[in-house]
Amino acid sequence: MGDGFIIAIDFGTAFSGYAFNISARGEESDPRLKRWGKEYGLETPKTPTCILFNEDKTFLSFGYEAQMKFKDMRGEEAKKHYFFEDFKMTLYKKKLSDLKIKDASGKPLEALKVFSESLRFLKDDALKTISSNTGGWKFTPSDFTWVLTVPAIWDESAKQFMREAAEQAGIVTEGWEEKLLIALEPEAASIWCKKVPPDGFILKNRSRESLDESPGTRYIVVDCGDFLKDRPQIVRVGQNTSDIITLSTGSPQGILSPLLFTLMRHNCVPRFNTNHTVRFTDETTMVGFIRDDNNYRRLQSTTFFGVHITDTLIWTG
């Protein structure tokens, strides 16, 4: 296939997704982004980084589907399954040989299996999506150059772990290793910023040129996500205090608002097992659903969570 056939996977701490380009080299690139959650009344650029295995450690689902299936399970059934979420940073400063990570109920599973099955799902979904956008044309992983982003703070062992997980997921096979590029997240963001049109991006001395058309322009890409890594946090509103939890979170909007939202969301628990909550990709919105005969109905109000936060930050039951 053409050199311009590229699939880029953003395997995130809280959310993951991918973009693809199938323009021939020499033609103007036309990157496309998969949208997620339509079956649940959502349309987000990423899906939650969570994965579900059955009691035999066989992969069941990833993303919103895994989240919903696990929430539908009763206590004993849920304990038999393996559900992982927000597990990416378990690779940071860890000895990765035979590393195991714990699921939601504390059961251990090989980290390589959790990561590789997650990447396998994203790979298969990407190929399926591209096929549906090209009249049913069948593609194989070797038809594409794959880009997998990783945090700049990761050491070489963590980057090699992700490469091994990608190979185990079938993204690249023996003899095609050069088809996988491991890219640092801030470098990928910087390259994208250079291509972004100036409207809404360059606020001072606005020009009609993008950054890569403006020699000498200096800019900084800042990722605030790691600023609050592994710090115990609480939220207090009036006489109400949230649980103490340790967070490693951030978002494009900044630090404080997503942080507070994450903490408040931690204490928003549905009253009934037919009720579910889904958080949006930017960590600033939560949506409620009620399951009726295996169909999900989106709620316009969050009061069913058991806690309602008013505009004046007063908590009411």
Q: For residue 43, what are its two tokens?
A: 């349309």
Domain ranges of the chain: 5-184, 225-316
Q: What is the pLDDT of residues 4-34, one digit of tens each?
A: 799 999 999 889 999 999 887 677 778 899 9
The separation between the first and the last C-alpha atoms of the chain, rounded to the nearest angstrom, is 59
Q: How far is CA 215 from CA 198, 199, 287, in A?
A: 14, 18, 44
Q: What is the reported pLDDT for 248?
A: 53
23/160 Cα distance (integer angstroms): 29
Among 162, 197, 157, which residue's Cα sits nearest to residue 182?
A: 162
Of the two residues 94 and 204, the one the predictor is more confident about is 94
Of the two residues 17 and 265, the one the predictor is more confident about is 17
Token pair 């049109």: residue: 197
Q: What percent of the chain has pLDDT over 90?
A: 42
Q: What is the reported pLDDT for 204?
A: 55
Token pair 């939601």: residue: 104
Longest Cα separation, the chain? 62
Q: What does CATH list as the number for 5-184?
A: 3.30.420.40
User: Could you say which DSSP state residue 129 is in?
Assistant: H
Q: What is the pLDDT of residues 97-140, one digit of tens each?
A: 889 999 999 999 999 999 999 999 999 999 999 999 888 889 99
Is the pLDDT at 250 greater than 60? The verdict is no
Neighbours of 53 (CB within 10 A): 21
Q: For residue 106, what are its two tokens?
A: 């504390």
Q: What is the reported pLDDT for 153?
A: 87
The pTM is what? 0.70
Q: For residue 15, what are its two tokens?
A: 């959310």
Q: For residue 163, what are its two tokens?
A: 């490469």
Of the two residues 244 and 115, the one the predictor is more confident about is 115
Mind giving me the DSSP string for 177-224?
A: GGGEEEEEHHHHHHHHHHHS-STTT--SS--SS-GGGSTT--------
Bridge partners for 47 per DSSP: 16
Q: What is the reported pLDDT for 24?
A: 73
Work out the pLDDT band at 81, boundaries 50, 70, 90: very high
Look at residue 84 and give its three-state secondary structure: strand
Q: For residue 294, what are its two tokens?
A: 């295996």
Of the two residues 150 and 310, the one the predictor is more confident about is 150
Percent helix, percent strand, percent coil in the chain, to nearest 5: 30, 25, 45
Average pLDDT, the chain: 77
Asked if 181 contacts 147 with a C-beta cutoff of 8 angstroms, the reply is: yes
86/264 Cα distance (integer angstroms): 17
Work out the pLDDT band at 88, boundaries 50, 70, 90: very high
Asked if 2 contacts 21 with a C-beta cutoff of 8 angstroms, the reply is: no
